[in-house]
Chain A
Amino acid sequence: MSMAAEPVDVLVAEATAGSQEAWNAIVDRYAALVWSVCLRFRLSEADTSDVVQTVWLRTVERLSSLREPAALPGWLATTTRRECLKVLGSRQSWPLGELAATLPADEDTTAPDAELLAAERRAMVREAFAQLPEHCQRLLALLVSGDQPSYVEIGARLEMPVGSIGPTRSRCLDKLRACPAVARWLTSERAEQRGDRRNV
């Protein structure tokens, strides 16, 4: 688990230098991103597994030439999407209409779309979460867990006074937002909201 909190550029550098452990940490971090993009295309299980395998193999061969490791999540999302489209394209004995109906609405295969961006954003949130101190991780994980425990239950489980849960929650979320990847993203979001794309 020691590598789970490392920034992506460190992982990429280590994996390029031969560390299987660093590579595994990259896989652990981004598997959900690759998977969630695949899900949108409703491919068969066999096709999905082909796509996933191809994406990882391409990533391995790409590793040393990645100029901007921070761009890895975006690259993974677009590559996964392209491989999914390729699999759909190779099923081209279908009538064109049927093929078109299966594809996501936007036809420009190079432009990022809202779902792709949301998938990248969730990957970013997981990365930021992994960098939080342990007490923050435990509290936030409980707060968002399926059984929605009350503050009293959370206080009992984490052995913390109920009155400090609210403030701790705020501090932990502040830390999440201050994580470099999230901070960068927030800056570009704000710029976009103002209609100012110069800083994006």
Chain B
Amino acid sequence: MSEPWADEDRWLAELREALQEARQVPKAVLEAGYSAYAWRTIDAELAELTYDSITEDPALAGARSQQAPLRALTFATGSVTLELQIEPTLLLGQVVPPQPGELLVSLRDGTSRTVPVDDLGCFTVDPIPAVPFRLRLAGEPPVATGWITL
């Protein structure tokens, strides 16, 4: 069987494309990358996105488009789950098991605010942040979600 990758010209063509592609990358893409490093969290346990109604079933989401679409997200660590439901203008959430206290909402633009978590673990973020944000729950260790873009 022939070995297509044994051909020098094929490698040169591949290299030409690869180097060209690298030159076309907008500066903004690199700069967004460099500055993302400042958002490293090293103390909090990362809650994984375990469910997202959009990616779970995009066809179904499209079929429902007559009504206002409801999006639901779940973030979880081994011990805590954050259930989020996205309403048209606000975000409803619940910490399971309930953990009354405060939740920190950090926005990508550098601002943050806290919202109360009630005895049932319920909280409301109103309005929905217009920029990517993450939620952080105090505790031992603290729990933080990844960045959420709605």
On whether the beta carbons of B146 and A170 are closer than 8 Å, the reply is no
Instruction: Determine the main DSSP class of A at the interface with B.
Output: helix
CB nearest neighbor in B for A30: B33
State which residues 33-52 of B face A: CB under 8 Å: 33-34, 36-37, 39-42, 46, 52
- How many residues does chain A have at the interface if contact means C-beta atoms less than 8 Å apart? 59
Instruction: Determine the main DSSP class of B at the interface with A.
Output: helix
Which one of A5-13, A67-75, A156-164, A186-194 is at the B interface? A186-194
On whether the beta carbons of B149 and A54 are closer than 8 Å, the reply is yes
Nearest chain B CB to A144's CB is how many angstroms away? Answer: 4
CB nearest neighbor in B for A28: B30
> How many B residues touch the partner, as a band?
35 or more
On whether the beta carbons of B11 and A50 are closer than 8 Å, the reply is no
On whether the beta carbons of A32 and B21 are closer than 8 Å, the reply is yes
- Which residues of B pack against A, CB within 8 Å? 1, 3, 5, 8, 11-19, 21-22, 24-26, 28-30, 32-34, 36-37, 39-42, 46, 52, 54-55, 58-59, 61-63, 65, 69, 71, 108, 132, 146-147, 149-150
- Which residues of A pack against B, CB within 8 Å? 15, 20, 23-24, 26-28, 31-32, 34-36, 49-50, 52-54, 56-61, 63-65, 82-83, 85-86, 89-90, 92-96, 99, 109, 121-123, 125-126, 129, 140-141, 143-144, 169-170, 173, 176-177, 186, 189-190, 193-194
